[in-house]
Amino acid sequence: MTDNTLIAQSADPRFSALPGRPGKIIAIHLSYASRADQRGRRPAHPSYFFKPSSSVAPSGGTIERPAGTELLAFEGEVALVIGAAARRVPLADAWSHVAWVTAGNDFGLYDLRSNDKGSNVRSKGGDGFTPIGRALIDARTVDPAALRLRTWVNGELRQDDTTAGLIFPLAQLVADLSQHFTLEPGDVILTGTPAGSSVVVPGDVVEVEVDAPGAPGAPSSGRLVTTVTQGEHGFDDAVGSLPAVDDVQRAEAWGSRAAAGLEPEAEPFRLTAALRDKLHRVPVAGLSAQLRKRGLNNVTVDGVRPMHPEAKVVGTARTLRFVPNREDLFTSHGGGYNAQKRVFDAVGEGEVIVIEARGEEGSGTLGDILALRAQARRAAGIVTDGGVRDYDAVAAVGIPVYTKGAHPAVLGRKHVPWEADVAVGCGGTTVQPGDVIVGDRDGVIVIPPALVEEVVDAALAQEDEDAWIAEQVTAGHPVDGLFPMNAEWRQRYEAWRASR
C-alpha cells in the first residue's frame, strides 16, 4: 500500500504542489467519451505521450503563447501522482499505487502539432505547459470513478465532467503503463480531458479544479490558476520547423469548426432512396459505358465473381486494407479487436465492405461469422479481391458477396488486417471510402459520388434507347445505321419519344 507520508514536498517552486520533481509525466491522448464523441473517433485502447518535467508550473503562474502562433489550447485534467512503485501490477491492485489526485492542465500548441506527428514533444512540452496543483487529495479517500473535473476561462465554466465518463478507468491506465515500464514514486499521469477544451489568448485566466463531491469532507484540489501571456520569442527555421496551422488544426484546437469561425463542412455524400432505386434499375454494363464516355476506364473491380448472381449490389464503400503477412506484424495487428473486426462491427446500413487483398486467393478474407455480422448491420454487400472461407456457409447467409473464390485457410496465412476507411486497391481499381459501388452478374463498378447522378440518368436514358433499338431489330430492321443510330433513325427515335 502507498504511504503518503514518505515523500517530502519539493523546495523548487515549480513543483510546490507535488512531492518532488516527477521523473516521468505520462499523458493519454484520448480518454473521455465526451471528447471522443466531439472528435468523432473512439479508441479501442489507450495511447500515451511523455511530457518533460521542465514543463511543470505551479498554480498562479503564467504560460506564454509564443510569438507567431495562434492556437494555444487548455485541457483540464485529473492528475494522478504515484506513491508506490508499480511494475506489472494487476488491475485490481493498480489504484493502491496512486498516492494523490490533483488538478492538471495539459496545455497544447496546435500550431506545432502536425510537425510532432503524435509525439507532442514540442506542441505540449514547452516551459509552463503543465500546471499542476494546487493541493493534493489523498487517493485512499476517494472513489476513482467519482471524481469531478471542472475548468473555467475568465470565470466561465467550460468543462464539467466526471471520471464516470472515462472510456478507460483510472486504474486501467496505471495497470497498462506498468506493463511497459516501472511507475516510480512521484511520477505523474495526466488522464485526459473531456469535451470543452478550446483556444485561449493572452490575458485569459484558466482555472482547473478536481474534487470528490461524494467523498467525506468533499476533498478538492482547489483551483489551479494559470494566466496566458504573449511571448516575445518565436521559432527559427534554421534549427527546426516553423508553426503551421490549417482548418483541421483550428477546428480541433477550438473544439469545433463553428467555434473556430469556420464554415461548416460539406455534408458527406449519401445515396438517397430515389438514387439507389435508379442504380438498381441500371445494369453495370450501362454504367460502365457512361463512365467511359466521361474518360473513366479504370473503374471496374476485375477478377471477382458474385456468390449470388441474381442479387444486385448498390451501396457506398466502407474500405478495409490487408497487407502481406509478416509474422511479427500479424502478432501486433492480427489478433484481438483488429481492423477487420472493427470494420464488420461498424459497417452501416446500405454500405458495401470493400477489401483490398491484392488479388491473393491463398486464404480467406472473411467467413460466415463476419458475413452474419455484416448482414446484421444491414450492409448492402461485400467485395473482396481475395478468397472466402466457409464458402457454403457464407452463401447461406444470403448477403451479396463478390470474391475471387473459395479457400479454406485462415487470414493469417497470407494477410495482416492493417487499416480501415482509407483508399484501397481492389481488383485493380482504386476505391475510396464513400465511393458508390454497384454490382451485378457482369461484375462490380466504382462510381465517384460527384458523377453518380449524372451517370445513372444518362445510363437510364441509354437503356430506353437501347430497348427501342432492340424492338426495331426484332421487327426485322438491319443494325447498319440503327446501331448506333444515324440521323434518320435518330429522328424516328425522337419522334417516338415525343409521342409517349
SS3 state at 103: strand
Q: Which three cell numbers stand for residue 152?
A: 473555467
**AA letter at 456:** V
Cell numbers that stand for 164 in this block = 464516470
Q: Give CA–CA dist 331/419, Å, rounded.
A: 15
Question: Before 484, cis peptide (omega within 30)?
Answer: yes
DSSP 438-454: EEETTEEEEE-GGGHHH
**Single pTM value for the model:** 0.59
**Contact status, residue 34 vs residue 165, Cβ threshold 8 Å:** yes
Q: Are strands 387-388 and 405-406 parallel, antiparallel or unpaired?
A: parallel
Domain 13-254 is in which class? Answer: alpha beta
- Report the pLDDT value the prediction gives residue 5, as an integer from 0 to 100: 45
Contacts of 126 (CB under 8 A, 6+ apart): 55, 63, 64, 66, 107, 109
What is d(CA 305, CA 290) in angstroms, rounded to the nearest whole number? 22
From-to residues of CATH 3.90.850.10 in the chain: 13-254
pLDDT of residue 10: 57
Question: Residues marked as binding?
Answer: 367-370, 389-390
| pLDDT number for residue 9 | 55
In the chain, ranges of CATH 3.50.30.40 domains:
298-447
Rounded distance, CA 75 to CA 296, Å? Answer: 48
- Give yes or no for a contact between 402 and 384, defined as CB atoms under 8 angstroms apart: yes
Angle between helix axes 368-376 and 339-346 (nearest 10 degrees) is 30
> Which among 59, 64, 57 is positioned nearest to 203, based on CA atoms?
64
DSSP string across 360-383: --SSBS--HHHHHHHHHTT--EEE
Residue 487 neighbours by CB under 8 Å, 6+ apart: none
Q: What contacts 68, CB < 8 A, 6 or more positions away?
A: 111, 234, 235, 242, 243
Of the candidates 456, 90, 106, which has an alpha carbon nearest to the alpha carbon of residue 282? 456
Backbone angles phi, psi at 141, to 5 degrees: -100, 0
Distance separating the N- and C-terminal Cα atoms of the chain: 88
Reported in sequence order, the residue ranges of 164-258 that DSSP labels E, i.e. its strands, are: 188-190, 205-211, 224-230
pLDDT at 494: 87
Q: For 291-329, what is each residue's pLDDT tens digit? A: 999 999 999 999 999 999 999 999 999 999 999 999 999
Sheet containing 56-57: give its strands across.
48-51, 25-28, 188-190, 76-82, 98-105, 130-138, 56-57
Q: Which residues of the chain have pLDDT under 50?
A: 1-2, 5-8
Nearest to 366 by CA among 378, 354, 358: 354
CB 371 within 8 A of CB 352: no
* Helix, strand, or coil (residue 68): coil
Q: Quote the CA–CA distance of 109 and 114 in Å, as a whole number.
A: 10
Binding residues for substrate: 367-370, 389
From the CB of residue 40, how many other CB atoms can be counted at a distance below 10 Å?
Answer: 6
pLDDT of residue 268: 77
Q: Give the tens place of pLDDT for each residue, 94-103.
A: 999 999 999 9
Which residues, at least 6 apart from 382, have a Cβ–Cβ distance to it below 8 Å?
352, 353, 355, 366, 371, 374, 399, 400, 401, 402
* CATH fourth-level superfamily of 298-447: Ribonuclease E inhibitor RraA/RraA-like (3.50.30.40)
pLDDT of 500 reads 79
Binding residues for Mg(2+): 390
